Amino acid sequence: MMDDKITNRVRQLQTALNEHSYYYHVLDDPKISDAEYDRLLHELKGLEEKYPQLVTQDSPTRRIGAPPLSAFEQAEHAIPMLSLDNAFSDQDILDFDARIRKNTGKDAIQYTVEPKLDGVAVELRYENGVLVQAATRGDGFVGEVITANVRTIRSVPLRLRTDGPLCPDLLEVRGEVFISRKGFQQLNDKRLAKGEPLFANPRNAAAGSLRQLDSAVTASRPLDIFMYGRGQVQGVAFDTQSGFLDALAAWGFAVNPLTQKQIAITTALTFYRRLMDLRPNLSYEIDGMVIKVDQVDLQQALGEKIKSPRWAIAYKFAAVEEVTRINDILVQVGRTGTLTPVAVLEPVKVGGVMVSRATLHNSDEIKKKDIRIGDQALVTRAGDVIPKVVKIMASARTGKEQIFEMPSHCPVCGSKVLRLEDEAAVKCINAACQAQRKERIRHFVSKKGFDIDGLGKKLVEQLVDEGLLSSFADLFSLKKEQLIPLDRMAEKSAQNLVTAIDKARQIPLHRFIFALGIDHTGENAARLLAKAFDTLDGLMAAEEADIEQIHGMGTITAKAIATFFDSPENQAVLQKITDSGVVITNTLAEQPGEKDHVFAGKTLVLTGTLSAMTRSEAKKALMDAGANVTGSVSSKTDFLVAGKDAGSKLNKARTLNVPVLDEDRFLEMLGS
């Protein structure tokens, strides 16, 4: 039988170690020596090993690592983790501010500005103040569960500090995991000593560390984190981004100390230049700053585009530039037939990455910059990622440079190319073009499409060249006997590929739409379409105007989608795909009866305690009815559901004249 003294000692140690970890890793103000911390941790480990029933989710021993996983689980983000639009000049930022003021009707806007870390985005989920899940950003909608790995990061609170604001029932907080410059150097020094390959940069090291199936490996890496954003929040509301950051700090999270709160846009531009001066001496890598509208109600009013919020923008730093020679200019043909000139460069290291090619976009860009084969060129990586020719060094010309002309015929199929009216792109309009076919099929089988394992670039090219694939639909009729004679293909690998294709015959509608490679239709647009239409047939029958009415869907995208499904050739391919046994499911569509429910399409906020169900059960019931459940009250809220001990949300709802439902009325309407 366990003594109460043992239980009390374990709880005392857990609390004390978490507190000391906070002072050391978040406040940089240690209260005890490392040796004393290790002694207390060793005592706690011994007691928990002897009495495993006393181990809690927030125990400091959980930071050491858990048993290795065989694979990562996946978790859907309740609120998508969108990317940010990028700005590269002061004028871009002033234009952003002008759009915000115009769309909100405000004369002046206050912003919160934060350094943009060059790390890995994650989302942490706390229930009743305890960390229960951590996930990567993934594709913005679904990420990988990395809870055990994130627990090893010492600056992540395993339990929210109780001396902060009221602990929320549910808190999803977002941040950036990174490795400091010093930690990166030490990590690579250790790998060098062991003869292991070196990491290219701190971001790659952080990403690789987070994706370890053995969290003990992650625990050995010098990971750190700054928090900056929110997902779902229940039980507490925030009026401002700056107020949210203050609450995070009070709960025990590390918030970047350089953050500037509630400032004007001109002050933000001044801070940008200060950050550029500070950047070389910071202990961690940054690649710009993020500007966010501070008022949450204005954020909600501005809303989001398909890929990014309208209320935030990233002002990127100018990238490192290097001079190298353009050895040649090749022309690539993409899946939509667009001919893209690409500069073949004398390999050069730019910002720590070896660059040998750079896109030149189109013939207008080449003429504008007067780019010639043989030129010495200034090369950068746009947004610190994509290689780009900034300008050529005309003074270095010898007279041997060659003027480049876009071909009049497709370099792959030989068909005459066409420049469409009002477009800079030159296109091959031959639907049978081998290059387009290869790129379309590669996109179709990619991870975010049908995700068919074993169908790499070389094999797709072989299958098309051998006449085995003329369209997407031909994939599902491939036989092992057809595959065995191909290069680097034997009976076992052929059977594996056929098996992988069979496994891929069931696919969600949003991934199927993405796989089709329709112009202007990426992952986010595909999800919007899947939410709006129950089935593929419903989407195919939709008019352009119907598609354009979907919130977040633009005119150009709607036209491209309608044009694609109006094509008899495309209709025939789609019919062949479904006839081959492909089953298209839809987990994103509205559930039966949603559109008829009184709460369908309405925005509700829950506050207080309900006696008939938990708040999570109430939220699920509302979502099943087609409602949108948010964590804060605004002018766009249709109903506030007020249970027992309702707090500030009830007062705000009354101020904004938002209809308030008590529990009895809520249950009556929900049952209807």
E strands, 260-375, are: 260-263, 286-293, 312-316, 322-333, 338-350, 353-359, 372-373
Helix (H) or strand (E) holding 92: helix 90-104
DSSP string computed for 210-258: HT-SSHHHHHTS-EEEEEEEEEEEES---SBHHHHHHHHHHHT----TT
Task: Give the type of residue at 312.
Answer: A
Give the list of residues 6+ apart from residue 93 with CB closer than 8 angstroms, or none: 87, 265, 268, 269, 272, 291, 313, 315
Strand bridging mode 426-428 / 628-630: unpaired
Contact between 353 and 379 under an 8 Å Cβ cutoff? The reply is: no
Q: Which residue has the tokens 């990061």?
A: 153
Contact between 130 and 57 under an 8 Å Cβ cutoff? The reply is: yes
Cα(39)–Cα(35) distance, rounded to whole angstroms? 6
- Would you call 368 a catalytic residue per the annotation? no
Choose the catalytic residue: 31, 116, 479, 559.
Answer: 116
Contact between 475 and 441 under an 8 Å Cβ cutoff? The reply is: yes
Contact between 27 and 250 under an 8 Å Cβ cutoff? The reply is: no
Least Cα distance to 15 among 67, 68, 62, 60 occurs for 60
Cα(543)–Cα(563) distance, rounded to whole angstroms? 10
For the stretch 261-285, what's the b/e string if a residue is b when 16 or more beta carbons lie within 10 angstroms of its beta carbon? bebebeebbebbeebeeeeeeeebb
Cα(445)–Cα(505) distance, rounded to whole angstroms? 11
Residue positions counted in the chain: 672
* Long-range contacts at 384-390 (CB < 8 A, ≥ 24 apart): 384/118, 384/287, 384/316, 384/317, 384/319, 384/351, 386/359, 387/345, 387/350, 387/355, 387/357, 387/358, 387/359, 388/358, 388/359, 389/326, 389/343, 389/358, 389/360, 390/321
**Backbone phi, psi, residue 267, to 5°:** -65, -35
SS3 content of the chain, % helix, strand, coil (to 5): 40, 25, 40
Half-sphere exposure of 466 (CA within 13 A, CB side): 15
Point out the residues that are catalytic. Answer: 116
